[in-house]
Structure 1
């Protein structure tokens, strides 16, 4: 059953794969920018994808958990070339940035102790706090707005993330259920029963899973699959999740290494979520990087191709929308809480305070300023300032 596109495409799968490889190699600026490039190039300039198909892909990418830009790319591959197209396009989009973070992981592992590497990340870490703070602000105004229910969910998650310094997956589901039951309560609700029982037992099930001691690669796989399955909207939503598991729970990385990993995601093109490959490399070498990246992207791939044929039919139902609104508010709240957690680690002195504030001001003043430009400038400032302050 395929309801996506029936007209023969005016391009080949090879052309689309080559386009995605290039976008994955050169596409800076985070998920919203990447989605914008796809619209400009594939809808407006080349006419390969219709406006309707693009809009549907974008809505599905925002509704389903996982990195938005990667899911949009996968959906656009699915439009004319179905599962083969979705798979090849997804790989082409993610592969360039994966190879870059593995190379950076290798360099970081071998040269991480060198003062120039520390100096670079001293500057970049502070700029990253500014970038995430600005993203959190934009996401808050866009997704939460003036909605009282969503503000309640948002503030709860921001406070919980700040206090526990970790991700609590079932709270995201609870937020979605709350939005759904409050906004568009289903007919069976007054009957109660099975669904209420299932919701009540979700936290218990995730607790049982985390108690099992698995070999390291299996642990990496399970943890990153969970992260990939629970991250909504911006790629930055994965940051509080990863912090909770990687630093607080498993102690795979220390605070400084974690902030450096987020910085690596900022300086490489492609999806922000590819930082999982870098983290995997630091924890367990190349095999760790492969397992972490695959585990993060497989849920987002499945969440795109499985609902694609049905999405035209059910995507606009009020219940679905209310559920997603609740989860999105929770995700943005968690990002906001994590800004403070990460700031505590990266903002260590006057220069780093100044760098973070200047980053926010620049992004505020110049809306089109690409984030990698700020990151490179911060790295150069770190190279100059760090040796002077730590000689």
Structure 2
């Protein structure tokens, strides 16, 4: 009997060893996060699509449920959800170091690209040859964003109820201009009540660890991680550490230069923005533009659109346009510094106070959010939020398409319904042709993302050199 029990125990141990998820080294993760960062075009929709494809489908480092659970949490936070999602997944895989690597690398290409273009813009007034490159990239990004809507929608919209929530979210945000936080709150309440009642429509899909775990993702639905068991002391350390990294430089600048200095204004304004930017980059950029143009006079309306064009067509979060705003603000009020140096410091300061809070929210809150995955009511709430997020991503896709294919649009309003209508005569035929080609390449011929981006960028440069765009 004892021998039999010993054999059974050994067999069970061997099974556990066989089914244990394969580890991913931090060095391997760095390479993959660098690849994701280099391909993170197209605003939050395109960036989420890139992460989903690489992390969930190609590498299978994280299960579908955990990816969507993290996305739901990041959607509720102020700040750029895609960057925070990268930080969250990096934290899941390798703790604080992994979060710093993933979140930092996600921002780095955008920092370098926007800074370089800001220098060119300040010195020469336009981006010249680079405009053709961006023109081509926009077409490819449109195809990637559409692919994101379809891929995430297929997995998140299980049944007519979830499809209805996604449709309602799209109508609310696109046609009725309902604030994004209200949409998420309403979806969360509906899902919470449905999950608490045990309705199957609000049950999260399972990717548990059956017999095929050895081929499954690294972060399974039921795989508990050490960083999930954070205690109050850890949370306090995170709050104090990242709170100090964020706010001590702001306080030092205020004490050194006073409240009227441009660096003080940048530090305070963008710190406040980091705390209230719910609803994604598109929702907050109108507020930033209004304050930067009308209140502070840092730049002109056309220059704000130029900065937005840079951010849309360079890798990294769309909110990176704030670095361009901070650069011009300090460049035009340099004090005793050389203008380019002042602009560089102003841009970097803007980036720091914009993204430092993102690490604070993730490192302090993620351990508690991970513990909620097993709660039926909260799982229902997050499933409903996921459905509403699909509708919001569709809104971003439509918004991006309008601004990629048409040079002009005009507002339309009847009662509570209000949205932008494209001016058909402003349709750019070359943009339409490139976008259609990119869509055909991605969906029909399954051409890779890198190849599609490179081909469209080359086509954009050629069209620019021929004077066609």
TM-score by length of 1: 0.66
**Mapping for residues 323-334 of structure 1, pairs under 5 Å:** 323-334=381-392
The aligned counterpart of 2:433 is 354
Pair 168,114 (structure 1): closer, same or farther in 2 beyond 3 Å: same
1:166 Cα deviation from its structure 2 partner: 8.3
RMSD between superposed Cα atoms in Å: 3.9
State which of 168, 173, 176 in structure 1 corresponds to 2:185: 173
Indicate whether 1:131 and 2:190 are aligned: no
SS in 1 for 2:374: coil
Deviations along 1:154-184, whole A, 9 cap, x unmatched? 2233233334678532322222122212332
1:32 Cα deviation from its structure 2 partner: 5.7
1:390 Cα deviation from its structure 2 partner: 4.8
CA contact (8 A) 1:154 1:333 kept: yes
**Mapping for residues 246-265 of structure 1, pairs under 5 Å:** 246=288, 254-255=304-305, 257-265=307-315
Indicate whether 1:369 and 2:419 are aligned: no
The aligned counterpart of 2:319 is 276
1:105 Cα deviation from its structure 2 partner: 4.0
State which of 341, 354, 374 in structure 2 corresponds to 1:295: 354
Larger Rg over CA atoms: 2
SS in 2 for 1:64: helix
Pair 376,155 (structure 1): closer, same or farther in 2 beyond 3 Å: same
CA contact (8 A) 2:115 2:347 kept: no
Indicate whether 1:106 and 2:118 are aligned: yes
Pair 215,92 (structure 1): closer, same or farther in 2 beyond 3 Å: closer
1:225 Cα deviation from its structure 2 partner: 4.2
Indicate whether 1:306 and 2:343 are aligned: no
Pair 312,222 (structure 1): closer, same or farther in 2 beyond 3 Å: closer
- C-alpha distance in 1, partners of 2:55/2:387? 26
SS in 2 for 1:264: coil
- Structure ranking higher in helix proportion: 1
The aligned counterpart of 2:73 is 64
CA contact (8 A) 1:161 1:334 kept: yes
Number of residues of Structure 1 aligned to a counterpart in Structure 2? 320
The aligned counterpart of 2:163 is 151
CA contact (8 A) 1:123 1:380 kept: yes
CA contact (8 A) 1:239 1:262 kept: no
CA contact (8 A) 1:73 1:93 kept: no
Pair 91,255 (structure 1): closer, same or farther in 2 beyond 3 Å: closer
Long gaps (5+) in structure 1? 1-9, 45-50, 187-213, 232-237, 266-271
- C-alpha distance in 1, partners of 2:107/2:399? 30
CA contact (8 A) 1:161 1:338 kept: no
CA contact (8 A) 1:179 1:326 kept: yes
1:339 Cα deviation from its structure 2 partner: 2.0
The aligned counterpart of 1:189 is none
The aligned counterpart of 2:90 is 73
Pair 70,87 (structure 1): closer, same or farther in 2 beyond 3 Å: closer
Q: Which piece of structure 1 moves more, 298-307 or 280-289?
A: 298-307
- C-alpha distance in 2, partners of 1:239/1:362? 28
The aligned counterpart of 2:461 is 383
